[in-house]
Structure 1
């Protein structure tokens, strides 16, 4: 069943997005929402094996022991002679363990076996170069920026997610996953993939202890980011800007919903700050427009991020809203991937706890504790049997109820961004805003929220007085120093 109207403020938002980003119109049934890591992995494998023309995977990294996934790719290549596989990861994360087994050495085996039917690219941020690159240890160098997009394309379908491609994301690390059945949308994200890939190193196999070699092809349009960063950024800006800005077909005021078969509009949004000068990234202004909707009427909202370090602009807008219900879902310390890790990363879970505590205090100060709630997600304890981690990120907005019936979401944001200062300034992020009047999709979005909420507990000010939620001065100092890199 399809509703016929959207709230005026949502239509206003769509007009603002039309001026900012490309857009795509979808019919009913072209979006599926996956809920669990194992479902994500099953669908990922199935789509790879069914692909006839192309598979392209953009991710932060592929786990260094993901031999099963590599075997699935190998099987698909053997069974489909016309298939081409493209993989894009981050150079810093993908080579971190070298010369020990790494993501890069695992992927190099595919390149060696299938030649030009498999192309693996590794993006290196222009922010890390010279003496800084030479002196900063591998464990810390990711703090200067990463390839963070998660785009999993197969022929004319694509999954947008926040999940990487490693064992925990396939088993016990909760994320979000949207499958789009649209050649237009898949082609669009392939153009984004190709643009970033043309600004990346190429992986090849060799007989060195590392098992691989990175080279900068002469066909790349820009010089190496570690050698001529300014020139690199200038050319990257020329390549990416036309892709992330609106197409000429975005006619003002024509949002496409006059056609009864058009029930959903998808707006791709990207944050490519390290690659753009001037920075015309679309994620930040689009999210600003979206959150401005919350101040105009009694919209309900849900915001989730595994790492609770909301960008200050977003934080202010959420706190300024007056919703019937506003909820933030974030990982408990025991569900944070850095829980009890060695070194400075061990400070991260309590740092996020401190930021969550400050948010709850701000809610109370504004006398909004009855309407804005912070929920901690926990399903067991990391590194113990049955323990899960939480990595989901996104926003859902529900219009004001027209009667006593609770409204379902009509807007969501899905993709790689953590909505932090780091996401804005350092990493490459790719997401989309979905606006829909499709009652079936709205019900699926509502079910997705309920799925995420099932392992949550509400945190009040007194919740942070327990021993397991107290934060020492060392954590506060680390947060002051590293806040922009979180």
Structure 2
């Protein structure tokens, strides 16, 4: 599968503004229309005080955060920034499409025009070599190394330590990806970083809707570069095959601090745990007392559970659950609104419970908090029409949506939580799009637009929080213009969505067969996830 399979810890770069404690006044005095008096502390102060115990915090002016609206604009923005790169390009993604010659040519032009430019690309080994010995992501990327050398172009592929030995030998390709992937999406160019859920292939550039946030911040870009290069140093290196430069080899560099995950998975995990934990944790700092009325904070969050054993110090799951618990338990958030979205609706049961409980009171009666869950219709699911087991996934997600609505009904929250399905045409037909967006937005009581959002690679599933490598950010703001843009983002994502009820999912054409339910049970029992 690999052709031939033949660091030290990085210190934090940049100057992140990292705080353990936040005074209530940090997010007070900037309320929306109809809110409490300016002297009252905002609920955001309670959120930031909790988050400062979990993850690093960066103060980024709202004017330096840009939200891209379409796949085509994402691609054109990415290419334009690569063309103008002066020092570095680093790209973390699940895979680059095996025929993305235009993107490769853009990278090649940038390297040719600027001899000082260095490019680092990280993908997943299982996904990136799936088509071998036919053309693949790995064989395509190796051509850049062949032309510009490994000193300027470093291509890495992460291999999960969960798939080794007989399991790796016997489980078929594509299905084997259920045991863990490099799933981060970090697109860094010089001092700017694009956080997204999108991979780098044609459908993500044309007809698969996702989210794309651009942060123009040197300190934040340095931080994510540190994460990127840390995982690179735990990954195989892709090099041209000396006998055939159109092919590739995967080698485990001697500069990697850990042994190969295929040779010694336990030692690999032990090293990774010691190495990664200090990078992703919050750092003790003296609390600042911001004087600006409009503030925006960005908390990078990471989920590296499979690499952090036995003590999982990942930050994303704690950050998400902290926010949702505040929604569920603090009276300051009564009357808030939230939107949760995932293209593949298989939400972690803890998050599901917290979303539901946020709309009910202690006596399990409805509160004034309202929530919307947005997911892909089966006809907008990337697996629609696929052959084999993957073709069952749209029905499996429908089954999970129905189970979620059953839980909502049991909690007497049907009038407080709405499920919407997104559809724009039908996958595989002219004009048919797929839906791949994921995230969470929270709008404070009596405010019009969201003050908080999670953006990044995570699908918020059991798999995301146990097997895959995920990175994202929690953006907290009281800047009115940025809040308006976040509101526009939620409206844009819901434009082609329609409400779906329990009765809709019981219709004959939506019923899920026994074969789908059995396949879901088998995958979970043998240790995989979807």
* Fold similarity call, TM over 0.5: yes
Provide the residue aligned with 2:291 in structure 1.
259
Matched residues in 1 for 2:239 and 2:219: separation? 31
Provide the residue aligned with 1:244 in structure 2.
280
Matched residues in 1 for 2:293 and 2:64: separation? 12
Provide the residue aligned with 1:479 in structure 2.
520
- 1:100-111 alignment, distance < 5 Å: 100-111=134-145
Q: Is the 8 A contact 1:381 1:388 kept in 2?
A: yes
Matched residues in 2 for 1:398 and 1:228: separation? 47
Please say which of residues 269-278 and 183-192 is displaced more in the overlay: 269-278
* TM-superposition CA deviations, 1:199-240 (whole Å, max 9, x none): 001110113497000001111101001111111111111211
Q: Is the 8 A contact 1:148 1:428 kept in 2?
A: yes
Q: Is the 8 A contact 2:67 2:485 kept in 1?
A: yes
Provide the residue aligned with 1:291 in structure 2.
324
Structure 2 residue 301 is matched with structure 1 residue 279: no
Provide the residue aligned with 1:187 in structure 2.
222
* TM-superposition CA deviations, 1:256-296 (whole Å, max 9, x none): 56230761011111000111122111111111101112112
Match of 1:354 among 399, 403, 406: 399
Structure 2 residue 233 is matched with structure 1 residue 198: yes
Matched residues in 2 for 1:3 and 1:83: separation? 44
- 1:82-93 alignment, distance < 5 Å: 82-93=116-127
Structure 2 residue 426 is matched with structure 1 residue 381: yes
Provide the residue aligned with 1:457 in structure 2.
498
Match of 1:447 among 476, 488, 497: 488
Matched residues in 2 for 1:379 and 1:221: separation? 47
Structure 2 residue 367 is matched with structure 1 residue 310: no
Provide the residue aligned with 1:79 in structure 2.
113
Match of 1:4 among 25, 29, 43: 29
- Helix, strand or coil for the counterpart of 2:458? coil
After TM superposition, give the deviation of residue 26 of structure 1 in Å: 1.2
Equivalent pairs counted in the alignment come to: 477
Q: Is the 8 A contact 1:26 1:262 kept in 2?
A: no
Match of 1:218 among 254, 267, 272: 254
- Helix, strand or coil for the counterpart of 1:179? strand
Provide the residue aligned with 2:102 in structure 1.
68
Match of 2:266 among 223, 226, 230: 230
Provide the residue aligned with 1:397 in structure 2.
442
Matched residues in 1 for 2:254 and 2:517: separation? 47
The gaps in structure 2 that reach 5 residues or longer are 1-26, 32-40, 360-367
Provide the residue aligned with 2:77 in structure 1.
43
Matched residues in 1 for 2:103 and 2:289: separation? 40
After TM superposition, give the deviation of residue 3 of structure 1 in Å: 7.8
- Helix, strand or coil for the counterpart of 2:105? helix
- Helix, strand or coil for the counterpart of 1:452? helix
After TM superposition, give the deviation of residue 350 of structure 1 in Å: 0.3
State the Cα RMSD in Å: 1.5
Matched residues in 1 for 2:29 and 2:117: separation? 42
Q: Is the 8 A contact 1:3 1:438 kept in 2?
A: no
Q: Is the 8 A contact 2:375 2:421 kept in 1?
A: yes
- Helix, strand or coil for the counterpart of 1:424? coil
Matched residues in 2 for 1:472 and 1:143: separation? 22
- Helix, strand or coil for the counterpart of 1:63? coil
Find runs of 4+ consecutive structure 1 residues off by over 4 angstroms.
Answer: none
After TM superposition, give the deviation of residue 133 of structure 1 in Å: 1.2
After TM superposition, give the deviation of residue 370 of structure 1 in Å: 1.8
After TM superposition, give the deviation of residue 9 of structure 1 in Å: 3.3
* TM-superposition CA deviations, 1:323-361 (whole Å, max 9, x none): 542100000001000001100111110000011112122
Matched residues in 2 for 1:113 and 1:3: separation? 55
Matched residues in 1 for 2:304 and 2:54: separation? 15
Q: Is the 8 A contact 1:149 1:416 kept in 2?
A: yes
Please say which of residues 375-384 and 456-465 is displaced more in the overlay: 456-465
- Helix, strand or coil for the counterpart of 1:29? helix
**Alpha-carbon distance change, 16 to 324 in structure 1, aligned in 2, over 3 angstroms:** closer
> TM-score if structure 1 supplies the norm length?
0.95
Provide the residue aligned with 2:449 in structure 1.
408
Provide the residue aligned with 2:4 in structure 1.
none
> TM-score if structure 2 supplies the norm length?
0.88
- Helix, strand or coil for the counterpart of 2:385? coil
Matched residues in 2 for 1:482 and 1:451: separation? 35
Matched residues in 1 for 2:336 and 2:267: separation? 45
